[in-house]
Copies of this chain bind each other. A is one copy, B any other.
């Protein structure tokens, strides 16, 4: 959002930049906030404001709800909307896709319909990092940085006593293990449990037992989406599905603790469920991630200049250029290993992305829950590099008041 607004201040190709409040839910109710003349100061603080400053929604556009589309296209006509930038994960890319398709169909019937001229553009943003095609998703790097900082800290904490102790950290990742896998970056994780590999309880308990017997300690990271071979989640509390049909999870780490206790393994267990904090931890923002996200917004604004640029998402790839922007020669080996990092943006048709899901790469997973390969670590490493200079207020990071509260 900050990148699109800033780009349009530099190159004012649109008269107005409206922020739609609460995603499609607020747009259906004509709830906008004019962001056109956002100050430089506010833009900078917006970049360090966690969660969605414009609000979010759990409302799902469905093809059969024709009146929703009628409403949206009427609003597009009323406000003379030329481009519609929508940021988020797979649910958001679905919204972009379905809107672009509906607009195209309508334009076929009536080429003069205003929506025929509106471009629907997706900007990826999800800590889950589970969109296909794009190398990774903005947001993931900062969450991975926070997780690694917590892993290091809690690893030091649980080691201070000589007693036997198992530490179990739970990360988000309903269907994809990217966040859990990223925790291995600093080499502290003994056991990694991902949704991509059926959970073998017997083997898990054997490994824990052996590790505790050998070293008194065992550090376990589990993804909330970890499941048994039959597909049931290991999370103790399986509850109702949310409005998108996703299972609501929680408690995979507690479930592991119970298994260890019930198996009679002689050890204490400590559980740390990172829960919501991991996706909004501004205190551990990755500068690489924040800058890339901002630049992706600017790229989306630029791409929107092109004719017929609708139904696209702006994706990220790792550039293979040999010199960075300051002209420093890069080591091609480091570039290919991801250590020297030059993101490039490029458009991808959103129908190739929406509705798919990219799990953590299976050939990056070490066997026996032993973690991930060097390639996986090289993939994550550059994404958590650098720290922005945060603007602080009263001892904590400043944030912009959400636009839906104004």
Which residues 7-45 of A have a CB within 8 angstroms of B? 22, 25
Would you call A320 an interface residue if the criterion is a C-beta within 8 Å of the partner chain's C-beta atoms?
no
- With A56-B160, A273-B273 in contact, is A395–B286 under 8 Å at CB? yes
A276:B51 contact, CB within 8 angstroms: no
Would you call A386 an interface residue if the criterion is a C-beta within 8 Å of the partner chain's C-beta atoms?
yes
Residue interface bits A351-379, CB-to-B below 8 A is 1, else 0:
00000000000000000000000000000
Q: How far is the CB of A160 from chain B (nearest CB, A)?
A: 4
Which residues 151-181 of A have a CB within 8 angstroms of B? 152-154, 156-163, 167
A148:B276 contact, CB within 8 angstroms: no
Chain B residues within 8 Å of A250, by CB:
271
B280:A153 contact, CB within 8 angstroms: yes
Would you call A275 an interface residue if the criterion is a C-beta within 8 Å of the partner chain's C-beta atoms?
yes
Would you call A277 an interface residue if the criterion is a C-beta within 8 Å of the partner chain's C-beta atoms?
yes
Chain B residues within 8 Å of A247, by CB:
none
Which residues 113-167 of A have a CB within 8 angstroms of B? 145-146, 148-150, 152-154, 156-163, 167
Q: Which of A57, A157, A273, A286 has the most CB of B within 10 A?
A: A157
- With A50-B157, A159-B405, A283-B283 in contact, is A145–B396 under 8 Å at CB? yes
Would you call A279 an interface residue if the criterion is a C-beta within 8 Å of the partner chain's C-beta atoms?
yes
Chain B residues within 8 Å of A381, by CB:
394-395
Identify which of B57, B162, B283 contacts A55 (C-beta below 8 A). Answer: B162
B275:A273 contact, CB within 8 angstroms: yes
- With A148-B396, A161-B57 in contact, is A154–B280 under 8 Å at CB? yes
- With A275-B271, A276-B270, A277-B154 in contact, is A384–B402 under 8 Å at CB? no
Chain B residues within 8 Å of A52, by CB:
160
Nearest CB in chain B to that of A144: its residue: B395
Cα–Cα, bound, A387→B395 (Å):
8
Would you call A49 an interface residue if the criterion is a C-beta within 8 Å of the partner chain's C-beta atoms?
yes
Q: How far is the CB of A155 from chain B (nearest CB, A)?
A: 9
Nearest CB in chain B to that of A285: its residue: B283
B283:A160 contact, CB within 8 angstroms: no
Residue interface bits A264-279, CB-to-B below 8 A is 1, else 0:
0000001111111101
B275:A272 contact, CB within 8 angstroms: yes
Chain B residues within 8 Å of A334, by CB:
none
A51:B395 contact, CB within 8 angstroms: no
Which residues 269-311 of A have a CB within 8 angstroms of B? 270-277, 279-284, 286
Q: How far is the CB of A294 from chain B (nearest CB, A)?
A: 19
- With A186-B394, A275-B272, A402-B159 in contact, is A50–B153 under 8 Å at CB? yes
Chain B residues within 8 Å of A152, by CB:
396-397, 399
Identify which of B57, B156, B384 contacts A399 (C-beta below 8 A). Answer: B156
Identify which of B22, B57, B272, B281 contacts A153 (C-beta below 8 A). Answer: B281
Nearest CB in chain B to that of A383: its residue: B395
Would you call A392 an interface residue if the criterion is a C-beta within 8 Å of the partner chain's C-beta atoms?
yes
Chain B residues within 8 Å of A157, by CB:
50-51, 276, 279-280
Q: How far is the CB of A47 from chain B (nearest CB, A)?
A: 14
Identify which of B49, B57, B163, B167 contacts A156 (C-beta below 8 A). Answer: B49
Would you call A93 an interface residue if the criterion is a C-beta within 8 Å of the partner chain's C-beta atoms?
no
In the assembled complex, 22 residue pairs joining A and B whose CB atoms fall closer than 8 Å, in A order, are A22-B160, A49-B156, A51-B156, A57-B161, A145-B395, A145-B396, A152-B396, A152-B399, A153-B277, A153-B281, A157-B280, A158-B276, A159-B402, A160-B402, A167-B276, A185-B394, A185-B395, A185-B396, A270-B275, A273-B275, A283-B284, A387-B392
What 7 pairs across the A-B complex have the smallest Cβ distances?
Answer: A384-B395, A153-B280, A51-B156, A51-B157, A56-B160, A157-B280, A50-B153
- Chain A residues in contact with chain B, CB under 8 A? 22, 25, 49-53, 55-58, 145-146, 148-150, 152-154, 156-163, 167, 185-186, 250, 270-277, 279-284, 286, 381, 384-387, 390, 392, 394-397, 399, 402, 404-405
